[in-house]
Structure 1
Amino acid sequence: MSQDYKARVVDVKEVLKRETRNYMLYFNYDNEAFMNTGIQESGSTPFGASTTTGPSGKAVPGKIGVKQDIIDGFAFLGMKSAFLATVSTAYPMDFIGKIVEALKTPGAAFIQALTSCDRGWRHPVNITTKINKLSVDSGFWPLYSIRIKDGKPTYAINRKIKFDKTKELLTEYLSLMGRYRHLVKPRREDLIDELVSMVHARANNVVGLVDQFGDPEGQFETYKIKLTELPNQKIISPGHGLCQGCGAGIALKQLAIGIQMVAGTNVIFTNNTSCSEVSLSKDDVPSYNTPWAHHLFETSATTGDAIATAYRIMQTKGHFKGEIPYVVAIGGDGSTYDIGFQFLKSALVRVGSFGLMNPLLSD
């Protein structure tokens, strides 16, 4: 596919001027396994990756099956208003710009970041950014966004996919991680080619959706932010228990910067059981300098929805005055893919369709 798109620059300063706002942003840091509980295989685990419950061997080359793609399914749920996007910490301006736009979009928002895990992916801690960049450049993790208005999605791609470079860059990507060692030492050309075909299939699907549902005036978008306009991150304190080189830790810092640009510190976090929850709440002392609540694997999205709805109901009844806090739900693989998917889907649909629970009751 040609990807001969008209380019458009999204000026984040202009996005910040919008009067609209989001009520719940769900942020998924996707590290492709249940890392917190022992590196078990999840629905997000890609083909060929070795995990503790799906280890590689002579008969089975790690994960059998594809990495599930859930973001496009959310695009066609008929929501009235929502913003959906994939991000990577290797491209921070794109990442932060999308967080800002998500929080300025009325309704719901879902942001998915592919975040490497040096323990689970088995790579040196000093190449986290290199690995995350290769995941994008190879086409394994396409960067794109979906704006939904009145049930209709509009797609835009944020980094063009180099199909002719996929195998070269993907092979380099695989070679940097121990979870794929069995594919490169000795080199399994058949399995690498199978993974390349899966990467091409998803990338072609994304490009096809951009072709069909993109805005002809700007199907290729980049976010414009000046470094001098970025605030010093104050939401998350420096001390935490995440591993050195943790991709999720970098992602949470970039998430916090985007939030501060919109909300300052007027934000409430809900966090499902996951690496980020365990490591940023040691000894019952959260690393967050804002309200933060821990919930089960499956309930961070529905808890966030409930908090946002409660504030709107209280404001409608006159029991709360002031600016309603932004709500950000944070989830890993369990909360997003396998255990909490139905909770996440229902929360996004409610918030994205402006479904309120008795907001006009006077008592």
Structure 2
Amino acid sequence: MPGADARGRTLSAHSESEQRGSAAVARPPPETSSLMRYRDAGVDVARAAALKRGILEAVESTWTAGVRPVRGGFAGVMEFPAGPGAPRLLAATLDGVGTKLHLARAAGQVAGASSDLVYHGANDLLAHGARPFAFLDYLAQARLDPELIAEVVRGLARACREVQAVLLGGETAEMPDTYLPEVLDVAGCMLGSVDPARLLDGSRARPGDVLLGLASSGLHTNGYSLARRILAESGIGLADPLPGTRGSVAQALLAPHRWYGPALEPLIDGGELHALAHVTGGGIASNLERVLPAGVRAQVRSSAWERPALMRWLIEVGAVPEDDARLSFNLGIGMVAVCAPERAAEVSAALRAAGETVQVIGALAAGARGVEWRDD
């Protein structure tokens, strides 16, 4: 693929299979054929090369002393974070911004939505006690828009600095036959490490443990296909006030994905948490079930917290059935922490002191592995 920069970013067209054997022998074009260049097929390599030079400053702003720059290399290289004592485990997660980008482009907030991808990945690692150390992105359009791509990378770099991960590598692809015009696709892989003694895998969760719900800042990065459809049929625009709030629809829908690391890291270090569930696609129940061991059942009380105005508006205006709402939206809870009942008050106090809004939203009980809603 043409031109990799210092961090291993490549800029390319869609993948093309390599030809071998007689079919690969070059033949002169027929006399009636006109010359055809790569840019005639919709891919401008020179423009892409200029684009990567323009984003390098933002990328390098995330680098630490452990990065080993390879000028013109094909991969990003860095030291694996050293751990005291036992060997460290590698943790990795991959996701995309999704259709939130459509709203972000309309509102001129692409950098913010791109940052969400980093926060999402870092929270996924956090759910297992892992600390992020590197992020790799994938950016694609039918025709690369240099200013837009630069804005995306600035957003990614800003969030990487916040979660203390280096923006190590990436792919910027121009694929006119794959993407619709004006569509932007942003995805990425977050890498982290965790000491085996610190690993959270749900095995410590026990009947009687308390479920602490940490408030979300909005939809985070899930439920936007439904939210966009509701918005389109509501008759109001992104700049209009959201009913029941002092802000606009855009402010509510594009609120950044919350990063829970600063509040939860000390509690993980102190062994206070038995499990963590990052509430992403599938809602509270689907993600909470992922961290439950066999023979343990979660009981979530729907009345334990007040749903944010945005959630209430989407459900009311869209006439969304309750079952669908629970699967599509986080309903105001972005992370669920599981802890021993005798430690719940102290853990809650520590989270509030760190700036989180926390509610006891249920408990674990003996029974078939799963999650049930209590609507009392």
Shorter-chain TM-score bucket reads under 0.3
Greater fraction helix: 1
Task: Select the structure of larger CA radius of gyration.
Answer: 2
Greater fraction strand: 2
The two structures have a TM-score, normalised by structure 1, of 0.25
The two structures have a TM-score, normalised by structure 2, of 0.24
Tell me: higher relative CO, structure 1 or 2? Use CA pairs within 8 A at least 6 residues apart.
Answer: 1
